[in-house]
Structure 1
C-alpha cells in the first residue's frame, strides 16, 4: 500500500512540475501537465525535445531568441 501511495504522489508531483515548466516556456500547460501525470518522469525528455523544437521554430522565422 505504501508503494502505491509513493507512486501516486510521484506522478502528481511530476505532473505539477512539468505543468509549471510548460507555463514558463509558453507551451500548452494542460497537455503537458496531463502527460506528466500519466507518464511521470518519463515525460520530461519528451517535454525537453518539444521545447527545443518550439524554440527552433521561433528562431527560424524571426531574429528573436527565446530564453529557456
Structure 2
C-alpha cells in the first residue's frame, strides 16, 4: 500500500509473492504490477530480477515472471 503523510492510502504501490527452491528457505519477490502466479511447485523464470542487500538482508524485485514448466 502507498503511504502519504505517514498514513496508508487505498492505492497499491507494489505486489509481493513468495517462492521456494529445494534446499533453501523461501524468498519474497516484489513486483510493480500484479502478476499471474502459476500452480504451486511450478518452475518459473523471472524477467529482470534484481537483488539488494540491506543490513545483511537480501531483497528481490523483478518485472515479471513466466512459467517454464
TM over 0.5: no
TM-score by length of 2: 0.25
Question: As a proportion of its length, which structure holds more helix?
Answer: 1
Which structure is higher in strand share?
2
TM-score (norm 1): 0.25
